[in-house]
Amino acid sequence: MAPKKGLLERLDEGVVIGDGGFVFALEKRGYVKAGPWTPEACIEHPEAVRQLHREFLRAGSDVMQAFTFYASDDKLSNRGNESSKKYTCEGINKAACDLAREVADEGGALVAGGLSQTPTYLSGLSKEATQKEFQKQVDVFMKNNVDFLIPEYFEHVEEMVWAIEVCVKSGLPVVASMCIGPEGDLHGVTAGECAVRMAKAGAHVVGLNCHFDPFVTLEGLKKMKAALDAAGIKVHLIAQPLALHTPDAEKQGFIDLPEFPFGLEPRTCTRWDMHRYAREAYDLGVRYIGGCCAFEAYHIRAVAEELSKERGCLPEASQKHEQWAGGLRMHTKPWVRARAGKQYWEKLKPSSGRPFSSAMSKPDCWGVTAGDKILKQKTEATTEEEIVDLKQKGRLMNGK
Q: What's the rounded Cα separation, in Å, for the pair 304 and 313?
A: 8
Question: Which residue, 80 or 188, has its beta carbon nearer to a copy of itself?
Answer: 80
269 is a site residue for a copy of itself (CB under 8 A): yes
Task: Please state, in angstroms and rounded to a whole number, the distance separating the CA atoms of residues 290 and 313.
Answer: 17
CA 207 vs. chain centroid, Å, equals: 11
| Cα–Cα distance for residue pair 243/269, rounded to 1 Å | 5
* Of 129-137, 141-149, 276-284, 364-372: span binding a copy of itself (CB under 8 A): 364-372
109 binds a copy of itself (CB under 8 A): no
Q: Which amino acid is at 311?
A: R
CA distance 209 to 212: 8
Asked if 33 interacts with a copy of itself (CB under 8 A), we say yes
Residues 364, 257: Cα–Cα separation, whole Å: 6
Nearer to a copy of itself, 135 or 369 (CB): 369
The residue within the footprint of a copy of itself, chosen from 46, 124, 202, 266 (CB under 8 A), is 266
Tell me which residues in 3-22 interact with a copy of itself (CB under 8 A). none
The region of 27-35, 186-194, 195-203, 220-228 touching a copy of itself under the rule CB under 8 A is: 27-35
Q: Find out whether 97 is annotated in a ligand binding site.
A: no
Cα dihedral sign, 53-99-208-24: positive
* CB of residue 352 to a copy of itself, shortest distance in Å: 4
Q: How far is the CB of 260 from a copy of itself (least distance, A)?
A: 7
Q: How far is CA 56 from CA 53, 150, 324, 354, in A?
A: 5, 18, 20, 31
Interface with a copy of itself, residue 143, by CB under 8 A: no
Told to check if 152 binds a copy of itself by CB under 8 A, we report no
Q: Is 210 annotated as a binding residue?
A: yes
Region 289-318 residues binding a copy of itself, contact defined as CB under 8 A: 296-298, 301, 316-317
374 binds a copy of itself (CB under 8 A): yes
Using the contact rule CB under 8 A, the part of the chain among 129-137, 183-191, 227-235, 388-396 near a copy of itself is 388-396
Angle between helical axes of 297-306 and 46-59 (0-180°, round to 10): 20
Neighbours of 245 (CB within 10 A): 22
Short-list 294, 299, 314, 281, CA closest to 246? 294
CA nearest to 217, candidates 256, 254, 260, 170: 254
Residues 187-216 that bind a copy of itself (CB under 8 A): 213
| 293 annotated to a ligand binding site | yes
Q: Is residue 272 close enough to count as binding a copy of itself by CB under 8 A?
A: yes
Number of residues that bind a copy of itself (CB under 8 A): 103
**Rounded CA separation 42/39 (Å):** 6
Q: Does 337 bind a copy of itself (CB under 8 A)?
A: yes
106 near a copy of itself (CB under 8 A): no
Contacts of a copy of itself in 226-245 (CB under 8 A): 244-245
Separation between Cα atoms, residue 55 and residue 62, nearest integer Å: 12
d(CA 211, CA 147): 26
Q: Is 259 in the site for a copy of itself (CB under 8 A)?
A: yes
* Contact present, 90 and 140 (Cβ < 8 Å): yes
Candidates 73-81, 100-108, 175-183, 284-292 — which segment interacts with a copy of itself by CB under 8 A? 73-81
Instruction: Give the annotated binding-site residues for Zn(2+).
Output: 210, 292-293
